[in-house]
Structure 1
């Protein structure tokens, strides 16, 4: 699927303020399952910009502003070709066909940050929730993860939250719902409680029919679980599905806060009112002519 993404983030301040250095995770991934044909990021005011790969191989942009400003505008456009049309196109290692399973020592070492369980009190509460709501689960790993994501989708209510931050997983359970980022964090911590390596993913999604505005106008979040023989496989508990070519991952992390798309602060000698407007449009498109010529050659 070819998708065009337009993402606008606009901050306004009642008077000029000083901006801290901002970290941006906005450029979609490039790998064997996703091709980035175009990406452009417009920033106002003009920043001092640097680009690096963070410790998890995400592309992170750092922007700094030498002068005070009364606004900050970030407008990114991307054309992405997603190639994961069949999310079940994999063969599990025989050791992982049934759950629970143990990761091989070399995998367990590499996956350490994604296996780290929540704090003890949280883990006990999550285990109690699993015992009550997911005690009789399929032995087959793929069937188990499918039922697991559908359980969260069916038991919890989606709530669009405009405020910053991510709910603790226990808060999501207590309230009976949350935003997509809250669902992804809960699913990740529940997976780790079950001994599965899992990580948080931030990105975009082309909304299906009847999405009830779960992904329209905003970035999306889901989880990836590491399965021996298959690698990292993406699952979206907000919709109760395995991720296909409608999903465009941007960045991943062991903790969700690390890969927030825009991270930064502003400073002033006294309180200054601010506002934020965000618009995200994900729509099917065609490849640019230059990309088509390169593929044909």
Structure 2
């Protein structure tokens, strides 16, 4: 699938403010199944712009603003193609076909940050939830992840949350609801509790108008699980599916907050009101 994506973020301040350097994660990833055809980034006021890679090899842009301003706007224009039409087009290593399995030492070392379990109280709550709700576990690794994803989808209720931040996993367990970023973090911590390496993914999900309120005007979040022989395989707990070519990945992280699309703050000697508006439009291309 080919898409055109327009992502606009606007900030308006009640008086001139000084802006900190802003980190920008908006450029989609490129690999054998996802091809970036165009990426244009427009920022106002004009910044001093640099780009590079973060420690996880995500494309990172940094904008510095030398002057005071009452407005800031960041707009990205993207044309991208994803060819991942069959999410099960992979072959596992023989030792990983059945679950549980142990990662090979060379993989386990590299996957360390993605295997880290949460704090003790959270770990206890996660194990308790798994013991209560995920009792009939398939022995096949792919079957187990499929069943787990469907269980997660049917157990939790999606709600759109416009406030900043991510719920703790315990909060999501207690409420039984959350936004896509909340679900991704909880799913990751449940996977790590099971012994599966998992990481957070920020990106875009295309759904036809009127079919999925979860994608209207905003970015999406999902999870990648590392499977020996297959590599990082994307799963969307919010939709209850393995990800296909409707998902456009931008950045990944061991800790979700590190790949927020726009990161920065503003300073003023006196209190200043601020407003933010974000709009994402995804259009399929022929």
Bucket of the pairwise TM-score, normalised by the shorter protein: over 0.9
How much has 1:272 moved relative to structure 2?
Answer: 0.7
CA deviations on 1:105-136 (whole Å, 9 max, x unpaired) are 11000100000111111111101000001021
How much has 1:209 moved relative to structure 2?
Answer: 6.9
What 5-or-longer segments of structure 2 have no aligned partner? none
- Distance (whole Å) between structure 2 residues aligned to residue 96 and residue 73 of structure 1: 47
Question: What is aligned with 2:130?
Answer: 130
Question: What is aligned with 1:40?
Answer: 40
CA deviations on 1:42-79 (whole Å, 9 max, x unpaired) are 00000011101011000000111001110110010100
Question: What is aligned with 2:108?
Answer: 108
> TM (normalized to structure 1)?
0.95
Matched, 1:231 2:231: yes
Matched, 1:271 2:271: yes
Give the 5 Å matches for 1:64-213: 64-208=64-208, 211-213=211-213
Question: What is aligned with 1:294?
Answer: none
- Distance (whole Å) between structure 2 residues aligned to residue 261 and residue 86 of structure 1: 28
- Distance (whole Å) between structure 1 residues aligned to residue 15 and residue 210 of structure 2: 42
> TM (normalized to structure 2)?
0.98
Specify the SS of the correspondent of 2:215. Answer: coil
CA deviations on 1:167-215 (whole Å, 9 max, x unpaired) are 1111111111110000000000100000000000000011157643011
- Distance (whole Å) between structure 1 residues aligned to residue 158 and residue 271 of structure 2: 33
Q: Which moved more, 1:130-139 or 1:238-247?
A: 130-139
Specify the SS of the correspondent of 2:214. Answer: coil
- Runs (4+) of structure 1 exceeding 3 A deviation are 208-212
Question: What is aligned with 2:261?
Answer: 261
Specify the SS of the correspondent of 2:183. Answer: helix
Matched, 1:250 2:250: yes
Distance 1:267 1:277, change over 3 A: same
Question: What is aligned with 2:7?
Answer: 7
Specify the SS of the correspondent of 2:213. Answer: coil
State the number of aligned residues: 286
How much has 1:283 moved relative to structure 2?
Answer: 1.4
- Distance (whole Å) between structure 1 residues aligned to residue 100 and residue 19 of structure 2: 48
Specify the SS of the correspondent of 1:29. Answer: coil
The RMSD of aligned alpha carbons is 1.0
Matched, 1:29 2:29: yes
What 5-or-longer segments of structure 1 have no aligned partner? 287-297
